[in-house]
Structure 1
Amino acid sequence: MSRKKLQRFKENDANRNVVQAGKPIFETIKGNWNKVQFPIAQPIVVELACGRGEFTVGLAREYPQSNFIGVDIKGSRIWKGSTIAIQEGLDNVAFLRTQIQELDKYFDNGEISELWITFPDPFPREGDEKRRLTSGKFLDMYKPLIAIGGVVHFKTDNTGLFDYSLELLKSRQDVELLLFTNDFYQSPYRDEHHGIQTRYEKMFSEKGEKIKYLKFKFIG
């Protein structure tokens, strides 16, 4: 392991806005984010597969009236967002280092007000369908964690994953599809995101890829 990674891991251990294995809070955070992690109890917005945390931190800048949590398993990635949040004094930002399939171990029912799924691995092979973050397996896990009326956002450059997700959501009786577009930056929704882009979104957009976006909520 490189010295840079080791240093980043060491800083993650010290950074209060990183919740990970080895810290006492990691085992008791479920249902307690607004009690012990954030200084002000506010609606909780979670970004899955947050990578370096550009989107999580960007949203936190724009919406100080909410608390934001980026989730990723890569400690060297979340170190970046954690460090920026600390440098900017953003105390409404935190990062959870864990596998996304274990999300329900760290959030109580109804604890999340809004969920973002941003540019996840598309897992294009048919046998990998259950690993997609918009598969039925994951949707079933998200549903109880999201507060009544809470929304889920999904952005991707991958047409196959977007089409798969859209058709699956349309087929579910417990989902209300609020909007969708196959070309986000030519849609009326673009300004709602304040120009905030993930590293991957910027890279794909510069290559001419159209960004797909949809929003839905669970009902029933």
Structure 2
Amino acid sequence: MGKNKLKKFSDMESMECVFQYPFSVLKEQGFPMKGRWHSDYFHNDNPVILELGCGKGEYTVGLASRFPDKNFIGIDIKGARMWSGACQVRDRKMGNAAFLRTSIELLPYFFAPGEVDEIWITFPDPQMKKVNKRLTGTRFMRLYREVLKDGGRVHLKTDSPFLYTYTGIMARHNSLPLLADTCDLYGNPQGVDDILGIRTFYEQQWLDRGLTIKYISWNLPAQGELSEPEVEIEPDTYRSFSRGELQCPELCNPQVRIKNNDKQ
């Protein structure tokens, strides 16, 4: 491990806005602030909003700056990435932002049922071959239900036509109420201008390359069976890191083939 990473990890150990708990400690002792984020950390009753896979924390910091009447927690397993956002929160003394280093699958260890009001999923790997790893798949919808209030809002921002198309089909198949849906956020915002000013470094790069940013959000009721839609979606040219090929900016809805009778 490089010295730079070690320094970042050392820095974060002393940051009050960063929480890092090994699974062994969680399993044996639990997380002391579970169910107590409002009273013990934020010291208010404002909504708690999570950003999953927060990376460098640019969106967590951007949302917290724009909405001081809400509380934001950026979550990622990569500690060296979130160091940048954590430093901003510390240096700017932002009382409505925090960072949690953990796996998304462990959310119920850190949050009580109904403690979370909203969830943001920003530019995740679309996992085109592995639906169980897809952060907008029904496996994760069930997980989010364990911490999200009834009818809480879930947001997705992505540059992947595949993930955008899949998520829309998944939401409609399971009758999840859609609140916003656009395949070109900056060209056709459809009433979501309050988030247009928040762009990550890589998001701006993709926009400069001609990629369109897709945005979709929906309510997630606490009850109701969830099932995967039986469809095949044309893969796109997404690359996890370099986005090695430029996807066609006009491609908002890839070809979709319904395997069986499916409600959409």
TM-score (norm 2): 0.78
Structure 2 residue 194 is the aligned partner of structure 1 residue 186: no
Task: Name the SS of the counterpart of 1:29 in structure 2.
Answer: coil
Q: Determine whether 1:206 maps to 2:201.
A: no
Q: Deviations over 1:6-36 (max 9, x none)?
A: 0100011000000112699972222111122
Q: Residue in 2 aligned with 1:12? A: 12
Between the aligned partners of 1:149 and 1:132, the Cα distance in structure 2 is 21
The structure 2 residue matched to 1:215, chosen from 197, 214, 217, is 217
Q: 2:109 aligns with which of 105, 127, 131?
A: 105
Q: Pick from 137, 140, 145 the counterpart of residue 139 of structure 2.
A: 137
Question: Would you tell me which structure has more helix in proportion to its own residues?
Answer: 1
Q: Give the deviation of 1:117 after TM superposition.
A: 0.5
Once superposed, what is the RMSD of the aligned Cα atoms? 1.8
Deviations 1:179-218 (A, max 9, x none): 2011111123352204101233222111111111011002
The amino acid of 2:177's aligned partner reads E
- Which deviates more from structure 2 when the two are superposed, residues 195-204 or residues 93-102? 195-204
Q: Assess, with a 3 A threshold, how the Cα gap between structure 1 residues 144 and 45 changes in structure 2: closer, same or farther.
A: same
Of 44-53 and 199-208, deviating more is: 199-208
Higher Cα Rg, which structure: 2
Q: Is the CA contact 2:30–2:109 (under 8 Å) kept in the aligned structure 1?
A: no
Q: What SS does the corresponding residue of 1:36 show, helix, strand or coil? A: helix
Tell which deviates more after alignment, 16-25 or 152-161.
16-25
The equivalent of 2:54 in structure 1 is: 50
Q: Which runs of 4+ in 1 moved over 3 A?
A: 22-26
How far is the alpha carbon of 1:97 from its aligned partner? Answer: 0.3
Where do residues 62-211 of structure 1 align in structure 2 (5 Å cutoff)?
A: 62-125=66-129, 128-173=130-175, 175-187=176-188, 188-211=190-213
Once residues 93 and 71 of structure 1 are traced to their aligned partners in structure 2, the CA distance between those partners, rounded to angstroms, is 11
Q: How many residue pairs align between the two structures?
A: 217
Aligned residues of 2:79 and 2:101 also touching (Cα < 8 A): yes
Distance 1:166 1:201 in 2: 21
Paired with 2:158 and 2:39, the residues of 1 have a C-alpha distance of 33
Partner Cα separation in structure 2 for residue 163 and residue 80 of structure 1: 32
Contact 1:20 1:26 survives alignment (8 Å) = no
Change in Cα spacing, 1:50 to 1:3, as seen in structure 2 (3 Å) is same
SS, match of residue 196 in structure 1: coil
Paired residue type of 2:180: L
- Percent sequence identity over matched residues? 38
2:227 corresponds in structure 1 to: none
- Say if 2:122 and 2:158, in contact at 8 Å, map to a contact too: yes
Show CA shifts across 1:53-83 (max 9, x none): 0010011111111111000001011111010
Q: Greater RCO between the two (CA within 8 Å, min separation 6)?
A: 1
Structure 2 Cα separation of the partners of residues 189 and 2 of structure 1: 45
